[in-house]
Structures are given as structure tokens and as C-alpha cells.
Structure 1
Amino acid sequence: MNRLAIIITLFLVFIHLLACNKQSANKKLLLGNWQGIMPHTEQFAAGFAFNGDNTFENKQGYYTSNGKDVPTNVGNFSQYKFQHDSLFIFDPATSKWDYHQIFKVTPDSLVMTWNSDTLRLTRYQEKKEALPDFDKIVINFESDGVYKDIYSHIDVELNKDRTIIYRYNLDENDVGTGLFTGIVPQQQYSELIDNFKHAGIKTLKESYYPENKIEEDHAAVTFVKSGKIIKSITDKGYFAPPTFFWAYKPFINLHQNIKLNRVSPQGTMSALQYTSYSKLERGTKRYKDALFISTSDTFLLLCYIAKGKICNTEFETRFQLTPNQHRTKKEFTIDTDGRYYKFMVNDKPVTVDIGFNFYDLNLAKREWDIFVQ
């Protein structure tokens, strides 16, 4: 072997070792947890975990879509690998290895391609906090953007005994929508609860709203203990911290991976039809106060009514509860004192006892709006 051949061989070996060292350095820097940063879009809520055994977690999950239903979740976990200096991540939704260009990776920041976009992420440390053993978690999710109006909204009441009430509305003519009940398997229930323990619930604000935007995806989550609302959090436009989004998003797809039984909205269950937010009203026709109740708090209250005990108790009406019937033109008003709720079922008045005064326990300290007719 002549001298030139030796020099070329040594140079190629040097380049190979340099590439291997760079690949090794990139992989070492990638290890750990990453979350998206500004701007506030669904990309902002992106979250990844690169593990030393080449497993990969997409905090938002992988989804397939037929364009008619809520996209189907096919799991959060996958694998990644390096070929030369290129990062490839296996996509369970397509069963393909996708190439992701890394523009920058440092101990604290990562810039890479994702779904044809440039994604900017920052490193974060997972923190787990102790939370009360909630009796209920209630979630409302309404989509105006991310899923291109594929559906209107989903409501879920998850109880401590793993039973759920699930309302899934696309449009009023879609036979796949409606009201359902079921039981969440123990492992899945534990995962859903554990996700909130990583979301920093105690330090989250009660509401997160974007400025100057109306058409945005909207979520509301209510945590309940012994009938008392411990905390309600509203997230519009993904302005809450990403860890909160990762916790409530799995509830949207619960109907796809557990057995649900359709419930006919008859009797007291009719209170759960097509309702979003609600309001309490009091006063005269000229001077009337109104207290608006969030979507998740509304679904919580209506679930109490739906599961309440029909009785003949007479009570003095303090308020009129008016759920927002956004999919029907029928007027639906409930007379109540906070514990007893009287409304029409099949053209007959029915009084329901929920067993405690929901208003006094949860709403009495909230601020009313005053209207002059």
C-alpha cells in the first residue's frame, strides 16, 4: 500500500470515528424529557422522552384517522435509532420509520423537524406531586381547530370506582354519538390518575386563555372530593402547561379502547342531552342576576341530577338553572334550591334530590353578573 493510499485510509477512519462520536454525543444529549415552547399551538404541547434503551415516548400519543371519527390512539411508545448522523423514529400509526432532522441539540434545548414543521423544545424534569384521592374527575373537551370540526364535544365523568359516564357528540344526525356508561380497567384507570400527578395541579391557575382568539380548542377539568369541587381548570388554545394537556388528552379517546354501553337519555338522564355550559338565574324580569357555570362543572352537576333520587319533596325555588342546549331549540329550565331540581320529563314535572346542596357547597362564593332588562 503506497503512502497516498494509507493517508486516504486513515482520513476515512478519522471521518468515521468523528461521525460515530457525533452520533454518540447527539444520543447522549437527547436522553431525557423534552417539551414544546412558544408559540402556543398544539405544537407547544408536544412532549418527548428519549430513553437509553432506544425507546421513545410521544406524550401526545400516535393517532390514525379516517376523517369521520375522533383520531384513534395507537399508543404513546415507540423506538428511535440513529443511522449515521440522522435520527429516525418509528411511527406506530403508519408502521414506518420517519426521518427527523436535528438542527440543534444542547443540554437544555432541542430543535428538530416534526410533521414537516420545525419544533423547538426545552428540557424538563418530571415531578410527581401528592394529590387528594379524588372521588370524581370531570372533563369537557370541545374542538374547533385541531381536528377540523370532526366533532363538537366530549364529556367524561370518571368516578373513584372506575365507572364513567361518557357523552360523545359529533352532530345530531350521527348514529355513532350519544350517551354511554362503562368501567375503566384498573391499569388504565391508574395511568389516567397518575398523569394528573405529573401535571402540577396544585400550582395551575383556574383558567388559561389566549388573547384575541375565539375559535380555539377548549378543555375544562373539574376535580371533586366528597361532593366538593376542589379545583376547576379551563384551558383554551393549549395555553396551560403541556403536562396538563398530556393528562387530559387520553380522556378524549376513552370510547375507543374500553367497552361502553349506550344509555337512552330518558327520565332523569335526559338532563345530559347536548348540554355545554349552563347558568343560574335569580331576581325579577327587570333586574336579574346570572351565574355562569363552566362546561365541566355543568356536566358534573347534571350527572348528579341524572343519578339523583326522584322524590315528592316540596321546596322553595332559589334559582333557575338553564343548561345551554346548543344542539336543540327546546327551552330547558330547571327550578332548584341547590339540592332539589324540578324539571319536565316526558311533559310531566319531576323533582330530583341529589342528596346535598350543590350551590351552597360549590357555587355560593362565586361572583354573579347583574343584568338590567
Structure 2
Amino acid sequence: MFLYILILQSCHKNTIDTNMLLGEWEFIQLESKEDEYGITTTYLRSDFKIMKDSLYEENNGFYQNQPLPNNEHYSIYLGQKGKYYITDDSLFVKSIKGKKYFAQKIVKVSKDYLTLYDRDSKLNFQYKRKSVVKPSDVPIDQITLSLAPCFGTCPISSISLDSEGNVYYYGISNTKLEGLYQGKANKIIFTEMVKKLNEIRFLELENNYSQKNVTDLPRLSVSFISNNKIIKSIDDYGYAQPKELKGILNNLIYAWQSAKLNKYEYNLPIIHYGFQPNISMNTSDSFYIQSLLFKAKQSDKEFTSKYRTTAQLILPENFDYEKLDSMDRSISTDGQYFKIQKENKDFVTLDIGFDVISTNKEIFDLHKN
């Protein structure tokens, strides 16, 4: 029996120095002479981080397909955290929430480079070690994010998440959850996002990213708020943003799947755009203002209007889009008080407590360029 155990252990002896794998790895290339189209090992194209205590972090995140009645499916986001173990010369990885391990052979590992072989696709994936960058230390209280239409079935939605875990989610179309919802998410999601945003020094990122000479791709905008001020607003067309940012934002895009949400009855229009005259906004900027209006107090204050816009009521199910103009309502504001036309076309005035347009005029001016 003792001899049998010794033989069994020797068969599973690690041939890789685990300490060599610790750290952050960046995907650099796929070793293949064939067309990459159709290769489904997307998780192997992601940057990742290997830590002590068998902890693993996937930049792109882990996903699980959920079937729908019409023979289609949607993706359930399982987060970025995973577990790993090493046996012989192989690395086994899975999501914390998942059950299945993915195995890759460790072909080569050095101080700066790593090569993994995927047995399913029979391809080598190469990585290089990421250099360590000193993180920034910028406080963030709230993040809003909006997904805009594309030529196809891209989800159209907006979400707001703050440091207390408060969530507002507005699903417009091509998303399982349509309509307006309010609720709570785990505060750890927000805390970890802020930490990672500072690790990539998010304030130093560009304000605009775009795929060149390509049309009909999805657009994303995201706004980072601190003490009622938008400190950074990014617009991305066609997933041109840095992959580090994309990995972080996936936690927000899919936060509605794990949050405890309830339908939020709201008979006022939802702001989608900027204001006239000459106040330009990303959709995520306007959803930040909308999140303030959700919490605003009703007021009898008379004020002089400086800005105006047209917003749209939440569309009911099976809506006849030929009647879309009938859902438009007007909004006028001085930046603090908002006079809003209700569903029945009466008006109500809401006070958000401060002049949000003057506070954020610097950011809004950037969108004009």
C-alpha cells in the first residue's frame, strides 16, 4: 500500500515552479498559421492574474450561457475571480462560481514570458508579464454606464451603481430585464471596481475611443462621479477601449444579474441626451442626472429656465413604434430645479439640491470637441 501511494504521488508531481507563475500576465499573441475565426477559447485571449492561495483573476471575466425559449441564449456573468491548481505540467482554472475546470499545458514559463497550450483548439497562447504601475488614489462615489444601439441585437440599457450599493437599472431593449428597476448590489462590487480603476490610473485614459472606418458597432459611455462632480467621462465605439478598462466595466454592465432589484414605477420621462442651448453629454452623463432626479424632492419653487431638452417616457410592452413621438415630454431647468412634463402632460418641479450643469460644465464642454 505504501509503495502504491508513492507511485501515485510521483505520477502527479508538479514539474513547474509555481512561484514563476505568480503575477499579472498580458495576452500578446496566438501561435497559429490558420484563420482565427471561429476559435472559441476566448478566455485564453484574456489577461489574467495568478495569486497565492490558489486565487486566479480573469480580466475578461467568466461567463455561462443560459438558454432562452426561442433557442437563443444570454450570458450570465460569473465575475473575474477564479481558482486554480497545477498538476504535472498543466494549469487548471475555473470560476469561483463555476464547476468546470479548464486545463492548459504550461509549455514554457520564464521571468517575463509564458506559453500555454490549449488541448481543445491545439493552439499555443503567448503572454508577457505586466509591468507594475503605481496606482492612483482617486475617490469615486458613483459610476453610471450606458449601452447604445448597434446594427443587430446589442443590449440597450443604462445602469447606476454607487458606493452604498444602490442600483438603478433601465433596460430598453435586447436585454432580459426591460423597464426601470431599483435595488441593491453587494458593495464589494463597487469597492473592487474603484480599486482596479485606480490601478490602471483611469483619469489618464483618453476621453474617446473608436474603431476607425467601421459602422454599426455598439457604443458605450461611462461616467465616474466624486462628490457630485463627473471627474471622468469616456465614450467608446466598437470596443476600442483598453482591455483593462473593459474587464473592469464588465462588473458594472452585468451588475443587474446579481443585484436584488424591484420594478420602479416612474411616470416621468427618462433623460437620454444633453440640453439646449449647447450642453453636450454622453448618455452615461445624462443617466447620472437622471439618477439624481430619481432621488429629488418635489418643489413649488419658481425659477428662470436656462436649459431645455426633450425626454421620453418608459415604453410599455408591445409598444407601437409608429407612435413613438407621443411618448416625448419636455424638461426645462436652471441646473438645480427641473420642471418636468409628466405622463398626463401636467408638470412637476423637482429639486436635486445643487446646480449639476454648472458643476459639470467642464466635462460637458469636452464633449463638444
Please confirm whether the aligned pair reaches a TM-score higher than 0.5, indicating the same fold: yes
Tell me if structure 1 keeps the 8 A contact 2:163–2:187: no
Q: Which residues in structure 2 correspond to 1:81-100 (within 5 Å)?
A: 81-83=86-88, 85-90=89-94, 95-100=99-104
1:310 to 298, 301, 312: 298
**Counterpart of 1:139?**
145
The change in CA–CA distance for 1:216 and 1:122 in structure 2 (over 3 A counts) is farther
In structure 1, the gaps of 5 or more residues are 1-15, 283-289
Relative distance call for 1:188 and 1:217 in structure 2 (3 A) is: same
Cα pair distance change 1:143/1:161, threshold 3 Å: same
Stretch of structure 1 that moved more, 100-109 or 240-249: 100-109
SS of the aligned residue for 2:338 comes to strand
Distance 1:310 1:246, change over 3 A: same
Alpha-carbon distance between aligned partners in 2 of 1:240 and 1:187, rounded to the nearest angstrom? 24
Q: 1:32 aligns with which of 23, 47, 63?
A: 23
1:343 aligns with 2:331: no
**TM-score with structure 1 setting the length:** 0.74
| Aligned-residue offset at 1:205 | 1.6
Question: Is residue 2:69 matched to residue 1:72?
Answer: no
What whole-Å deviation, never above 9, does each CA across 1:34-60 have from its counterpart, x for those lacking one? 123489xx8798221223554432222
1:338-373 Cα shifts (integer Å, max 9, x gaps)? 222222112212222222222222126616869xxx
2:163 corresponding residue in structure 1: 160
- Contact in 2 for aligned 1:128/1:197 (Cα 8 Å): no
Partner of 1:216: 217
- Deviations, residues 178-233 of structure 1 (Å, cap 9, x unaligned): 22222233444432332322231132121222212233343322122232211112
1:1-373 alignment runs, 5 A limit: 23-24=15-16, 27=18, 29-37=20-28, 46-51=46-51, 53-68=53-68, 70-75=74-79, 76-83=81-88, 85-90=89-94, 95-101=99-105, 105-112=109-116, 116=121, 119-125=125-131, 127=133, 129-142=135-148, 144=150, 149=153, 152-171=155-174, 176-266=177-267, 270-272=268-270, 277-282=272-277, 290-323=278-311, 329=324, 330-345=327-342, 346-363=344-361, 366=365
Q: Note the C-alpha offset of 1:77.
A: 0.7
Q: Which moved more, 1:203-212 or 1:64-73?
A: 64-73
* Cα deviation 1:278-323 (Å, max 9, x = unaligned): 03223xxxxxxx4431011010011222322222333333222234
Displacement, 1:33? 0.8
CA distance in 2, matches of 1:314, 1:122: 62
Percent identical residues? 23
* Residue pair 1:32, 1:123 contacting (<8 A) in 2 also: yes
State the Cα distance separating 1:70 from its structure 2 match.
4.7
> Does the CA-based 8 Å contact 1:88-1:100 persist in structure 2?
yes
CA distance 1:135–1:95, shift in 2 (3 Å): closer
Please say if residues 307 and 334 of structure 2, whose CA atoms lie closer than 8 Å, have aligned partners that are also in contact. yes
Per-residue deviation at 1:128?
5.8
Using the alignment, how far apart are the partners of 1:299 and 1:264 within structure 2? 17
Question: Is the 1:140–1:296 contact (alpha carbons within 8 Å) kept by the matching residues of 2?
Answer: yes
Conserved? CA contact 1:44–1:238, under 8 Å = no
Cα gap change, 1:311 to 1:118, in 2 (>3 Å): farther
Tell me the distance in 2 between the aligned counterparts of 1:34 and 1:153.
32
Moved more, 56-65 or 215-224: 215-224
Q: Which amino acid aligns with 1:343?
A: I
Structure 1 pair 367–323 and aligned structure 2 pair: CA distance change class (3 A)? farther
Distance change (3 Å), C-alpha of 1:183 and 1:94:
closer
Task: Read off the aligned partner of 2:260 and give its amino acid letter.
Answer: K
**In 2, Cα distance between the equivalents of 1:71 and 1:142?**
18
Q: Radius of gyration: which is bigger?
A: 1
Counterpart CA distance in 1 for 2:183 and 2:76 is: 19
Query: Runs of 5+ in structure 2 lacking a partner?
Result: 1-9, 31-41, 316-320
Report how many aligned residue pairs link the two structures: 332
CA distance in 1, matches of 2:355, 2:26: 42
Seen in structure 2, the aligned counterparts of structure 1 residues 179 and 29 have a Cα distance that, compared at 3 Å, is same
Distance, in Å, in 2 between the alignment partners of 1:60 and 1:123 is: 17
Counterpart CA distance in 2 for 1:66 and 1:310 is 42
Deviation string 1:318-343 (CA, Å, 9 cap, x unpaired) is 22223478976132331222222222
Give 1:310's aligned amino acid. Q
Given the superposition, is the C-alpha separation of residues 211 and 37 from structure 1 closer, same or farther in structure 2, using an over 3 Å criterion? farther
SS across alignment from 1:366 = helix
1:91 & 1:70 partners in 2: Cα distance? Answer: 18
Counterpart in the other structure of 1:5: none
The answer to whether the 8 Å contact 1:335/1:342 transfers is: yes
Helix, strand or coil at the partner of 2:328? coil
